[in-house]
Chain A
């Protein structure tokens, strides 16, 4: 199969993620969209790894997973803290800071 198809798929996933970040209101869902974008990056890396014929891309993908896991920890901590104070995970509610 043409490896380019995986690139297209990854680009599509990335776009879905990015659009989701812009459109969804629940902080958790927004965060999941970001994870989707990161995973689109991973897929791209693995594809290129295959195309280039070396393992570097796959290694980066592992690193990315670890980093993404850390991000989840920090992100959920923040979101939970906000949920406790506001009883809402909507990012639209959090707009005290503006102008």
Chain B
């Protein structure tokens, strides 16, 4: 029997995660003790403050890297630093969207249409639990990207997922759909984490170790039972591919994106993608790199199918949120090519792409949340016709973000695509390169179809209009537009910085 060793924790480097967790716990206390009136504002203030402190704590750690932050469980390195930075920035932009609390159910546990709900609405009760939930999810995401052993990875996955399941069910309007989204997300999420756990078990069985470094060493050694490794890699991949919504593990994404409150969708679509791809980068680059010849063909196939499927199905969508969901599926395909590349430029490009895509996504969903009629948001694309005439600024911003997704020059999307495809090309993967370019061409068509719809079609007279954005939403949209534009026009400093910083401690 092994002796028990007192764990040594490097609190300075764990500070960002701990700060966010502390903020979440204080949020829970506020929820319990603060008077109803002041909860909303104090929660928002607390959340923003927490994120800023976490960001500062993170910046303080820059340049110090260690793979023994919490024994062997957590590794802080350049890549982890950049990914955590991206998550915090995206979260900071996205959390402001939660401030429009009239988007959330007044009494989420009450049945829709019940007296209880009416009373809650009449009393102007606001759901503020969403702030601590978001902070918990963010803490999970931060940990997910820096976990370097299997237990931590699994726990982080659940810490980030569980709050998201709940948040998906909090919409004020169309509550049945929102609850359904929560149920679907939960059941399928739990289902995929069961696969993930099973995969972890087999990786442990294969390598006799739970750390990434141990697995990598076992693969290099090559003496152990290969079947275990095979099952381990496949099933762990299922869990990760589910989170990034790659085909065929994508089916939850459109439903959940559509059903969840738009503000939550914005956060979920952007930040989860960064976290999940961050973890995926680490596990494939660090733990599985030695076995690349086994998993690369399968992952390539998944990437190709995902790109093509996402782009093609997006064309036929009539709901803007579902359309963005399929677009996010297509983007998952593009991002996978960065992982498959398994080289330094693949790492750099994926990190850049993740950040750029995440920021643009938050902006796009923020705009979706503005288009509404008297009964709530309007996400039916046909009713977006002629938006350009009624609200030129909003329409132009949305068009710009769509062009970003399409990868038109002078937007961050173009630079990201360019970087990621050149990484794929560098690794000799021409299939990815060709399919990627072609499916982004297909994708460009449907983004442009929407732009045509918004600008060149006559508006339908059915009361669809753009609500005046609140100050918070305005900050979100403007920040997202500025970052997208700057990353498109002057990406060089950021790309340089990523190139210098990004690396994995093994």
Instruction: Tell me the complex Cα distance, A59–B111, Å.
Output: 41
Instruction: Tell me the complex Cα distance, A75–B191, Å.
Output: 12
Q: Which stretch from B13-21, B182-190, B273-281, B418-426 is at the chain A interface?
A: B182-190
Judge whether B169 is part of the interface by a CB distance below 8 angstroms: yes
| Contact pattern, B 56-85, Cβ under 8 Å of A = 1, otherwise 0 | 000000000000000000000000000000
The answer to whether B200 touches A60, judged by C-beta atoms less than 8 angstroms apart, is: yes
| Contact pattern, A 22-34, Cβ under 8 Å of B = 1, otherwise 0 | 0000010011001
**Residue count of chain B within 8 Å CB distance of chain A:** 48
The answer to whether B258 touches A97, judged by C-beta atoms less than 8 angstroms apart, is: yes
Q: A21-B191, A31-B187, A59-B151 are in contact. Are A84 and B208 (CB under 8 A)?
A: no
| Contact pattern, A 47-88, Cβ under 8 Å of B = 1, otherwise 0 | 110011011110110011001001100110111111011100
The answer to whether B198 touches A44, judged by C-beta atoms less than 8 angstroms apart, is: yes
Judge whether A91 is part of the interface by a CB distance below 8 angstroms: yes
Q: A21-B191, A54-B2, A97-B259 are in contact. Are A63 and B201 (CB under 8 A)?
A: no
Q: A64-B197, A94-B180 are in contact. Are A27 and B204 (CB under 8 A)?
A: no
Considering the complex, which residues of chain B in the window 191-207 have a beta carbon less than 8 Å from any beta carbon of chain A?
191, 193-195, 197-198, 200-202, 204-205
Interfacial chain A residues near B195, Cβ < 8 Å: 37
Contact for A94 among B183, B210, B254, CB less than 8 A: B183
Q: A91-B183, A94-B184 are in contact. Are A45 and B204 (CB under 8 A)?
A: yes
Instruction: Tell me the complex Cα distance, A33–B186, Å.
Output: 14
Contact for B154 among A44, A57, A67, CB less than 8 A: A67
Q: A52-B208, A54-B2 are in contact. Are A31 and B190 (CB under 8 A)?
A: yes
Interfacial chain B residues near A99, Cβ < 8 Å: 322
Interfacial chain B residues near A63, Cβ < 8 Å: 151, 154-155
The answer to whether B205 touches A51, judged by C-beta atoms less than 8 angstroms apart, is: yes
Instruction: Tell me the complex Cα distance, A70–B191, Å.
Output: 15
Spell out A's residues near B (CB within 8 Å): 7, 10, 14, 17-18, 21, 27, 30-31, 34, 37-38, 40-42, 44-45, 47-48, 51-52, 54-57, 59-60, 63-64, 67, 70-71, 74-75, 77-82, 84-86, 91, 94-99
Interchain residue pairs with CB less than 8 A apart (16):
A17-B194, A21-B187, A21-B191, A45-B201, A56-B210, A60-B150, A60-B154, A60-B210, A64-B154, A74-B165, A77-B166, A78-B186, A81-B109, A91-B183, A94-B180, A97-B177
Further 6 A-B residue pairs, CB within 8 A, beyond A57-B204, A96-B176, A99-B322: A21-B191, A40-B194, A45-B201, A45-B204, A74-B165, A86-B176
Ranked 4 nearest A-B pairs via Cβ? A37-B194, A48-B205, A44-B201, A41-B197
